[in-house]
Amino acid sequence: MFDWLIIGAGFAGSVLADRLARVRNERVLIVDRRNHIGGNAYDRFDDAGVLMHQYGPHIFHTNAQSIVDYLAQFTEWRPYEHRVLAHVDDALLPIPINRTTVNRLYGLSLDSDEAVEAFFNERAETPAEIRTSEDVVVGRVGRDLYEKFFRGYTRKQWGLDPSQLDKSVTARVPVRTNTDDRYFNDTFQCMPKLGYTRMFEKMLDHPNIKVMLQTDFADVRRGISYKRMIFTGPIDEYFDHRFGKLPYRSLRFEHKTLDMPQFQPVAVVNYPQNEPFTRITEYKHLTGQEHAKTSITYEHPSADGDPYYPIPKPENAELFKRYEKLAQATPNVWFVGRLATYRYYNMDQVVGQALSTFQKIDAALGTGTKRARAIMQAS
Ligand code: FAD
Ligand code: UDP
């Protein structure tokens, strides 16, 4: 008899397995349909011995010290600041758009924040309302930069024009007037020193936690005895798609190993123009690994395949709300994570969501935290 059945061994499922086992001293069975733990953050050494990310580049960044401290129980960190170049008109230019991007693209020598701000202001359009992913960018930098850096990339990535997507999607990428060319603004940017999979192994290494891989929810839904459940798969799948399928965007990852030490100057080069893929990642920049060969991944967006991205559009949010109501009326099951809460969350946000779910569970079921403290004090 397990206290908990957890579906999915990604961040959401693994954080909850850790807390339920270590703080509440409860017995957890965590299952995943894949043949590995870690969810989309899974990394592995490929046949050439290069550490790579099976599901595309995962860079940890957050402003929340509490989340860093929590994960630091399971990993040391390698400081890494992410920088991305975009392949535009045969040049490699920094993205997020910043002063260097503008100067190099247009052959200018703007030398202050004010000059770049004025450059943007002269070109920015003023949509009546900033509602879509197009509005956000043309409202800030104007149409030419929007078309060069955002329109094509977004159409490929989402199969939708930016004017059909919620503003929150392109608003993820900042625009800067200075020369800061880091991809993220967060105070904490780093990689788990020995990789994500090693970190997950430590999280799940506890006598109260049993891991079953290559096991689908459908395989264990009935045959196994458990009291409560955490579900981190797609929420519509849990309810047998009864209101119709929630759209998730997928990707096909084309992995290659090349017989050269370095392929490109930075970890990620974006291709916002005519190429059929969106970006190429070279992992050694992320991991710091030294190796005579290098491994890279092309990302080809697609409608079919594993669900990776909830698609932020009003009608999808409406459909999700109908499933969410069902979820709220389902006793003893908690829905957590990117797929189960249909949110375009980064890793740190999923860790935060899982930790706060744990606090709610602990409060609702009573005093696991107090019990753990008492055990620690007695020993
Ligand atoms: P997942 O990692 O998707 O885990 C869910 C698990 O549940 C999966 O392993 C799945 O196999 C399993 N599962 C689902 N249904 C079932 C079922 N029926 N039965 C059994 N198992 C099931 N975030 C960042 O912070 N930084 C980044 O740089 C970054 N890069 C990304 C790049 C890409 C290409 C993608 C797709 C995402 C990226 N993310 C990044 C987001 C990050 O992957 C997620 O925030 C995080 O992995 C979500 O964790 P999760 O546990 O909610 O979901
Ligand atoms: N985007 C773009 N061009 C770029 C980078 C991003 O058009 O060079 C858009 C695209 O729609 C993308 C969104 O901005 O999906 C958010 O980018 P981010 O890098 O945050 O996406 P992630 O890969 O993390 O999902």
What CATH number does the domain containing 343 carry?
A: 3.40.50.720
328 half-sphere exposure, CB direction, 13 A CA radius: 6
> CA-CA distance, 257 to 266, in Å (whole number)?
16
| Domain identity same for 18 and 158 | no
Atom of ligand 2 nearest to the CA of 95: 8
For the chain, how far is it from start to end, CA to CA, in angstroms? 27
The number of domains in the chain is: 2
* Closest ligand to Cα 168: 2
**Spatial contact of 43 and 75, defined as CB atoms under 8 Å apart:** no
> CA-CA distance, 85 to 67, in Å (whole number)?
29
72-107 per-position pLDDT tens digit: 999 999 999 999 999 999 999 999 999 999 999 999
* Residue % of the chain over a pLDDT of 90: 95
* Closest ligand to Cα 54: 1
Q: How confident is the model at residue 371 (pLDDT cuts 50, 70, 90)?
A: low
Q: What is the pLDDT of residue 222?
A: 85
Q: At what angle do helices 347-365 and 368-378 cross, to 10 degrees?
A: 80
Q: How confident is the model at residue 368 (pLDDT cuts 50, 70, 90)?
A: low
> CA-CA distance, 173 to 96, in Å (whole number)?
6
Residue 50 within any structural domain of the chain:
no
| Domain identity same for 165 and 225 | no
Closest among 73, 97, 330 to 206, alpha carbons compared: 73
Tell me, what amino acid is at 122? E
Nearest CA to ligand 2 atom 11: 154
Q: What is the pLDDT of residue 366?
A: 87
pLDDT higher than 90, residue 301? yes
Q: Is 95 in the pocket of ligand 2 (CB under 6 A)?
A: yes
Nearest CA to ligand 2 atom 3: 150
Which residues, in sequence order, are CB contacts of 219 under 8 Å at separation 6+? 31
| Domain identity same for 28 and 165 | no
* Closest ligand to Cα 12: 1
Ligand 1 centroid, distance to 225 Cα (angstroms): 26
Q: How far is CA 139 from CA 106, 129, 173, 263, in A?
A: 19, 9, 14, 36
- 2 backbone dihedrals φ, ψ, rounded to 5°: -95, 145
Of 157, 158, 184, the one to substitute when testing ligand 2's pocket (max ligand atoms within 8 A of C-beta) is 157
Q: How far is CA 105 from CA 94, 96, 142, 181, in A?
A: 10, 13, 14, 15
> CA-CA distance, 306 to 268, in Å (whole number)?
22
Beta bridge partners of 310: 248
18-58 per-position pLDDT tens digit: 999 999 999 999 999 999 999 999 999 999 999 999 999 99
Of 251, 347, 353, the one to substitute when testing ligand 1's pocket (max ligand atoms within 8 A of C-beta) is 347
Q: At what angle do helices 133-141 and 113-123 cross, to 10 degrees?
A: 120
pTM of the model: 0.96
Residue 71 within any structural domain of the chain:
no
Q: What is the pLDDT of residue 127?
A: 87
Q: What is the pLDDT of residue 221?
A: 87
Region 227-242: mean pLDDT is 98
Residue 298 within any structural domain of the chain:
no
Nearest CA to ligand 2 atom 2: 150
Ligand 1 centroid, distance to 205 Cα (angstroms): 20
Which residues, in sequence order, are CB contacts of 361 under 8 Å at separation 6+? 20, 334
> CA-CA distance, 88 to 157, in Å (whole number)?
17
Of 232, 238, 268, 277, the one to substitute when testing ligand 1's pocket (max ligand atoms within 8 A of C-beta) is 232
- Exposure of 181 by Cβ count < 10 A (0-12 exposed, 13-18 middle, 19+ buried)? buried
Residue 279 within any structural domain of the chain:
no
Atom of ligand 2 nearest to the CA of 153: 7
Q: What is the pLDDT of residue 67?
A: 98
Residue 213 within any structural domain of the chain:
yes
Nearest CA to ligand 2 atom 13: 170
Q: What is the pLDDT of residue 225?
A: 94
Burial 74-101 (b: 16+ CB within 10 A, else e): bbebeebebbbbbbbeeebbbbbbbbbb
The DSSP secondary-structure symbol of 171 reads G
Q: What is the pLDDT of residue 46?
A: 98
Q: Is 240 left (phi over 0), alpha (psi -120 to 50) or beta?
A: left
| Domain identity same for 108 and 152 | yes
Name the residue range of residue 91's domain: 84-171
Residue 294 within any structural domain of the chain:
no
Of 82, 85, 150, the one to substitute when testing ligand 2's pocket (max ligand atoms within 8 A of C-beta) is 150
| Domain identity same for 159 and 97 | yes
Residue 97 within any structural domain of the chain:
yes
